[in-house]
Amino acid sequence: MFHAGTDFHREIRQKCSQCSLQELCLPRGLHASDLEQLDTVVSCEGPHHEGDFLLRAGDPFRSLYAVRSGSYKSYTIDQDGREQIWGFHLPGEIMGLDAIHPERHICNVVALDTATACNLPFDQLSAIASRLPGLRSGLFKILSKNLAQQTLRSRDETAEERLAAFLVDLSSRLRERGFSERDLHLSMPRRDIASYLHLTAETISRSLARFQSEGLISVDHREIRLLDLARLTKRARSETLAGATP
């Protein structure tokens, strides 16, 4: 989804202790000695290519997953056979949280571009977390952030507010990852963004065109340049989770 930065495809080591994403991911704030405990249980999945499944709805829950490179989307299929998008996941973000309670995955998780993920077996992760308070509270924070995100997304806002909030949120997540916060290269189709924001594809395009005519952004195929992040943020009106620590 995002080819924004220079070293996007930098090699990421399989071990958490050597991973450049550790400050964004689950092990955030853990000591080097604690990280080695995680190293023993983490394995790699992929590479997946655009459209490849990491998880299918109904799969038994065994692990959480962290994006290592590339990006994924998670979605369910509604009664009419349409995709409902629940999230777009960037490097360092955790997927599969919704499966902890039902012990089955609710969402399909599919690669949006060439992507790899870390498999974190949940039993072993829990066992380690019970010994490492830092990891345990990290897990709680990730769960809480996820909940807050879905709550914010379901609030009653205008289409333009929702779309602006989405762009501001993406921008800040990219900045955290060391990419440009102004140049967003999206490879997900517009209908996925529409589905995620509960809007129609037409509304997404119309709103983007309005932002463009107001000088907030410029759009070229699937690239967006944020020309006035401050005004766009004001346009989003509501609080976003920008900058919130996991």
Partner 1 sequence: MGPCPHGAQRSPVIDPALLRRYDAPVPRYTSYPTARHFQNAVTESVFRASIASSNEDLIPSDLSLYVHLPFCRRPCFYCGCTRIVTRDASRASRYLEQLHQEIALQGAEIDRDRVVRQLHLGGGTPTYFTDAELASLMDAIRKAFTLDEGVDREFGIEVDPRTLDTARLHHLLSLGFNRVSFGIQDLDFKVQQAINRVQDPRYTLTLVEQAQGLGFASVNVDLLYGLPGQSPECFMATVEAILGIRPGRIALYGYAHLPQQFRYQRQIPASSLPDAEARIRLFLGAYERFMAAGYHPIGLDHFAREGDRLLDALQDGSLQRNFQGYSTHAGLDSLAVGISAISRIGTLYAQNTKDEEDYLTSLRAGHLPIRVGYHLNPDDVIRADVIERIMCHEELDGNAVEKRHRICFPEYFASSLERLEELERDELVERSGNRVVLRPLGKILRRIVAARFDAYLQPENPDGHYSRMI
Neighbours of 118 (CB within 10 A): 27
Q: How many CA atoms lie within 13 A of 94 on its CB side?
A: 27
Site string for partner 1, 53-92 (x = CB under 8 A): ----------------------------------------
Which alpha helices (H) appear in the chain, and where do they start and end? 32-39, 122-131, 133-153, 159-176, 190-196, 201-213, 229-236
The residue range among 22-30, 108-116, 148-156, 187-195 that interacts with partner 1, by the rule CB under 8 A, is 187-195
Least separation in angstroms between residue 109's CB and partner 1 is 20
Q: Per the structure block, which two tokens stand in for 121?
A: 């077996």
Least separation in angstroms between residue 136's CB and partner 1 is 41
* DSSP SS3 for 48: strand
Least separation in angstroms between residue 132's CB and partner 1 is 43
Question: Which of 221, 230, 243, 245 is close enough to bind partner 1 by CB under 8 A?
Answer: 221
- Binding status of residue 213 toward partner 1 by CB under 8 A: no
Question: Which of 103, 222, 239, 244 is close enough to bind partner 1 by CB under 8 A?
Answer: 222
Residues across the chain: 246
- Binding status of residue 227 toward partner 1 by CB under 8 A: no
The residue range among 36-44, 97-105, 188-196, 226-234 that interacts with partner 1, by the rule CB under 8 A, is 188-196
Question: Which of 209, 214, 238, 244 is close enough to bind partner 1 by CB under 8 A?
Answer: 209
Taking the CA atoms of residue 98, residue 102, residue 103 and residue 105 in that order, the dihedral angle to the nearest 10 degrees is -50
Residues 162/237, Cβ–Cβ less than 8 Å: no
- Binding status of residue 6 toward partner 1 by CB under 8 A: no
Which alpha helices (H) appear in 69-197, and where do they start and end? 122-131, 133-153, 159-176, 190-196
Among candidates 127, 145, 147, which has minimal Cα distance to 135? 127
Please, which residues bridge with residue 217 across strands? Answer: 226
Least separation in angstroms between residue 117's CB and partner 1 is 24
- Binding status of residue 219 toward partner 1 by CB under 8 A: yes
Binding residues for partner 1 (CB under 8 A): 186, 189-191, 193, 201-202, 204-206, 208-209, 212, 219, 221-222, 224
